[in-house]
Amino acid sequence: MPHRALIIYSSVTGNTEKIARAFLETLEGYRFAVDYIKTGAHDFKNEPTYFEDYDLVCIGSPIMAGLPHQALMKLLGLYGNEEIHFNRGGPETNATPLDFFLKGAPRFPTKGVVFCTYCGYFGGPDEATATLELEKLYLEIKGVPVVGMFSTAGREVFHNAVNMAGAILKVGVNQSAEMLQRYKDDPADPAFDKLTDAQRDAMRRCAGDKRHWPFDTMVKTEALGDIPGSVFWHYDCMERPHERDLTKARIFMADLVEDYFLTATGKPRPSGSIYKVIS
Tens of pLDDT, residues 196-242: 887 777 777 777 766 666 778 889 998 888 999 998 899 998 899 99
pLDDT, tens only, 113-137: 999 999 887 789 999 999 999 999 9
**Residue 103: which pLDDT band, with cuts at 50, 70 and 90?**
low
**In the chain, ranges of CATH 3.40.50.360 domains:** 4-155+237-278
CATH class, 4-155+237-278 region? alpha beta
**Residue 37 clears pLDDT 90, i.e. is over it:** yes
**Residue 99 clears pLDDT 70, i.e. is over it:** no
pLDDT computed for residue 212 by the predictor: 66
**Residue 188 clears pLDDT 80, i.e. is over it:** yes
**Residue 276 clears pLDDT 60, i.e. is over it:** yes
The mean predicted confidence, pLDDT, of the chain is 85
pLDDT computed for residue 195 by the predictor: 77
**Residue 92: which pLDDT band, with cuts at 50, 70 and 90?**
very low
pLDDT computed for residue 126 by the predictor: 92
Residue with the larger pLDDT of the pair 24 and 202: 24
How many Å apart are CA 115 and CA 215, to the nearest integer? 29
pLDDT computed for residue 119 by the predictor: 87
pLDDT, tens only, 57-77: 999 999 887 889 888 998 998
